[in-house]
């Protein structure tokens, strides 16, 4: 394990050494450190600290684990004049994110209809590798989607303006440039709008099991036993292709800019460079694609509920509480060395967690801070948190994004051999549908850390505050 100095009960730091320009800071409790040190994630956090223009610290969240270039659960901010932009600091699934929806329904309203509802969701929201079929559009329409985001979906009748108000960035970032997106990426985007994808992506019907902060819960409309929906997905093959394309571009360009780093997976170029600006335009296109993708899935989720319960939208009342983005780079203003500075914040497997009073928050959440949505695993629980003033001071307004894997997919599949994971969950009242047994096996609860530990570490560090615990009833997986 790297030499860690204790900063507080839930924060440790690795001092700069070698070519590190800033320290690497890990938010975690002491009993989490051995698990964190079991893979190369801490080394990756140190590698990030070598990057030109990085300010503050290379930050790792308690759900940190090994990833491509940056660790998953990594946050880094770069000076806009001397800093760099890195596809590995955003991730392959650009704007992988989470939407939480509340409803007028209580858990008992589903009862014997739950299996039917899960089957209907599985039909309405296509899953799996390369899944297609929810919506097929032309290449020209894809380009329009990349500029308008969720607002395009609402314009086409998939949801309402009330949804857009509760999405990070209102479901659309400016500066998207589909002209910097490859034709292959555009082609991949024509058939995947409204699809969940594979891996750890899921759609979960759950309920509010516990409330810890009554004021924040009331602001979000949460009440005990309330039926909720979590949608976790991203930019699908479109975003993957954008990342893949620009990793090659930047890998070839680094020498030209005199950038040498300990890991070539950190391929990057100056933000102001032609390559950096082109990647920003393409990345923002993928961000908007993902916003539109989740908006279409939310609309089809509403339809599945209404069809199953044989009633209208007023009775079901599915509304968007909030939607957060992971795997993203954005220009924001944060305190650096005692003064406010515009920086380019890379969040890879990390959630924006703006504190109370931030002007970018919806009016209903100004007094509580930004809702933060932390999925666990399909057999246990997930959490709703809020952002804090401490996060604004220490982590560039960021917190954790989930439980974090403790097993590779191969290990998880091996451990599940001879078991019927879906039946085990059904015996506990959780209905699961997946594209294959393999997908379900790879995502069983034992493959993940206990998300409660992750959330408690963030609360102990002061970078987010717990509002409610949600428990699953029905899950569809890719």
- Report whether 196 contacts 125 (CB < 8 A): yes
CA distance 304 to 288: 25
Q: What share of the chain is helix, strand, coil (3-state, %, to 5)?
A: 40, 25, 35
* Cα dihedral: 385, 387, 390, 391 (round 10): 100
CA distance 213 to 196: 31
CA distance 442 to 205: 20
Q: Would you state the structure tokens that stand for residue 208, as one six-digit string?
A: 């509010």
Which among 201, 326, 346, 401 is annotated as catalytic? 401
Q: CA angle, 252 as apex, 241 and 181 as ends, to 5°?
A: 30
CA distance to 190, 277, 295, 406, per residue, from 180 (Å): 17, 9, 24, 37
Cα Rg for the chain, rounded, in angstroms?
A: 21
DSSP 227: E
- Report whether 330 contacts 358 (CB < 8 A): no
Strands, E assignment, 44-152: 54-65, 72-79, 84-85, 97-102
Identify the sign of the CA torsion 278, 328, 395, 295. Answer: positive
φ/ψ bin of 326: left (φ > 0), alpha (ψ from -120 to 50), beta (otherwise): beta
Is residue 358 annotated as a catalytic residue, yes or no? no
Active site residues: 401
């Amino acid at each position: 394990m790297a030499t860690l100095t204790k900063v507080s009960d839930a924060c440790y730091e690795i001092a700069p050494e070698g070519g590190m320009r800033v320290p690497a800071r890990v938010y975690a409790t002491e009993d989490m450190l051995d698990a964190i040190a079991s893979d190369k994630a801490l080394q990756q956090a140190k590698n990030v600290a070598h990057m030109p223009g990085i300010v503050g610290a290379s930050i790792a969240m308690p759900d940190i684990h090994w990833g491509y270039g940056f660790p998953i659960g990594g946050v880094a901010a770069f000076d806009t004049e001397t800093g760099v932009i890195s596809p590995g600091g955003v991730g392959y699934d650009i704007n992988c994110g989470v939407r939480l929806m509340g409803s007028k329904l209580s858990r008992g309203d589903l009862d014997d209809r739950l299996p039917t509802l899960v089957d209907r969701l599985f039909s309405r929201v296509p899953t799996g590798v390369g899944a297609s079929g929810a919506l097929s559009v032309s290449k020209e329409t894809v380009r329009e989607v990349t500029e308008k985001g969720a607002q395009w979906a609402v314009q086409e009748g998939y949801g309402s303006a009330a949804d857009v108000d509760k999405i990070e960035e209102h479901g659309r970032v400016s500066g998207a440039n589909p002209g910097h997106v490859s034709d292959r990426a555009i082609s991949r985007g024509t058939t995947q709008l409204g699809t969940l994808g594979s891996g750890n992506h899921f759609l979960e019907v759950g309920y509010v099991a516990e409330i810890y902060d009554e004021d924040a819960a009331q602001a979000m409309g949460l009440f005990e036993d309330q039926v909720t929906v979590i949608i976790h997905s991203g930019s699908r093959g479109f975003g993957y292709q954008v990342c893949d394309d620009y990793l090659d571009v930047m890998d070839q360009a680094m020498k030209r800019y005199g950038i040498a780093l300990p890991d070539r997976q950190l391929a990057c170029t100056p933000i102001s460079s032609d390559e950096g600006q082109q990647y920003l335009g393409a990345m923002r296109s993928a961000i908007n694609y993902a916003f539109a993708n989740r908006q279409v899935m939310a609309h089809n989720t509403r339809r599945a509920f209404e069809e199953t319960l044989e009633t209208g939208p007023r009775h079901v009342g599915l509304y968007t509480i909030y939607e957060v983005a992971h795997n993203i780079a954005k220009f924001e203003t944060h305190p650096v060395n005692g003064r406010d500075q515009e920086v380019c914040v890379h969040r890879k497997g990390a959630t924006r967690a703006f504190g109370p009073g931030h002007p970018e928050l919806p009016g209903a959440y100004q007094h509580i801070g930004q809702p933060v949505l932390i999925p666990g695993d399909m057999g246990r629980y997930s959490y709703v948190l809020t952002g804090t003033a401490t996060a604004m001071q220490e982590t560039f307004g960021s917190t954790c994004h989930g439980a974090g894997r403790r097993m590779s997919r191969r290990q998880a599949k091996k451990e599940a051999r001879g078991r019927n994971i879906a039946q085990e969950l059904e015996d506990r009242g959780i209905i699961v549908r997946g594209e294959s047994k393999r997908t379900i096996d790879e995502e069983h609860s034992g493959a993940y850390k206990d998300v409660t530990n992750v959330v408690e570490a963030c609360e102990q560090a002061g970078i987010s505050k717990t509002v409610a615990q949600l428990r699953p009833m029905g899950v569809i997986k890719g």
